[in-house]
Amino acid sequence: STAHRLAAAARHAVDPGRGWEGVREVLGDASDPEYPIYRTHAGPDSSYTLLTALFRAPEGKLEVLLANPARAEGLRSRFTLDLSPLFEDPGGAIGAALPGAAGAAAADRAADRSGGGGGGALLW
């Protein structure tokens, strides 16, 4: 079934300019009658796709579609969660773990905000 789904995905020439629409087309592909990407409990494939989740990292969003994402009903049957607060780094701790000059600079900024000296210790 993996080979079928990889072949179906390869048939899509995803244009980066199409953005999430192109991604939804691939994830909603049901063109393979035996093992489609979007599974419908048909043919020898006894499973179905319950939902499709798109992690939209640049916006810090999780979009959940409850129907085929390639079709209009998929877009109407969705909800979006704002995950951006989970990725905020107000103390600079994540940056302090970066290697090289970027990490050292982030550690120094974090230490300045906390009133301590430099050093780049990461406490998480």
pLDDT 10s digits, 50-77: 999 998 888 889 999 999 999 877 678 8
Half-sphere exposure of 28 (CA within 13 A, CB side): 19
Domain that holds residue 11: 2-82
Q: Is residue 122 part of a domain?
A: no
Report residue 29 as tokens.
């592909």
How far apart are the C-alpha atoms of 87 and 67, rounded to whole Å?
A: 28
Same domain, 60 and 101: no
Q: Is residue 96 part of a domain?
A: yes
pTM for the complete prediction? Answer: 0.61
CA proximity to 65, closest of 99, 25, 98: 25
120 sits in the region (left: phi over 0; alpha: psi -120 to 50; else beta) called left
Start-to-end C-alpha separation, the chain = 41
What was the pLDDT predicted at 78? 85
What was the pLDDT predicted at 97? 54
Q: How many domains does the chain have?
A: 2
Same domain, 64 and 29: yes
10 Å Cβ neighbour count for 71? Answer: 16
| pLDDT mean over 91-110 | 52
What was the pLDDT predicted at 88? 75
What was the pLDDT predicted at 101? 47
